[in-house]
Amino acid sequence: MSVKLRLKRMGRSNRSFFRLNAIDSRSPRDGRVIEELGHYDPRDKDQSKQFVAKLDRCRYWLDHGAVPSETVSSLLKKNGVEHKSLKLPRPGKPKAAPAPAEGAKTEAAPAAATPAEAPAAETPAT
């Protein structure tokens, strides 16, 4: 049996909250759970009450091969759980590198020009 750590949607329309569960991977999203590990309420203003979990039990399931969903991975990482099976969120667009300062440009230019001034080894033309 493959176990996953994933969220189970609860609540009413437009006022949802989620329970964090260890669940068999073959069961539906809101199906039977193995163990309830915590809850997540995205609408709660207080950050400490927004995600509450039994972190020691989450580590236990991760150590025993449970695979966390992407959302659960990011929530656990934000709460300080370090584990090799926690996935990083998918990267978005790559950010543009900041332009170097003016002082860095003047120092970098002579250093780059020095190798170009060295005589290149001549190859015989055939």
Alpha carbon separation from 115 to 95, 103, 109, 118 (Å, rounded):
31, 21, 11, 5
Contact 51, 103 (CB under 8 A): no
Report domain extents, the chain.
3-78
pLDDT in tens, 27-81: 888 888 899 999 999 888 888 889 899 989 999 998 998 888 888 888 888 888 7
The second-level CATH assignment, the architecture, of 3-78 is 2-Layer Sandwich (3.30)
DSSP states of 95-113: PPPPPPPHHHHHHHHHHHH
pLDDT in tens, 72-112: 888 888 888 777 667 665 666 666 767 777 765 556 555 55
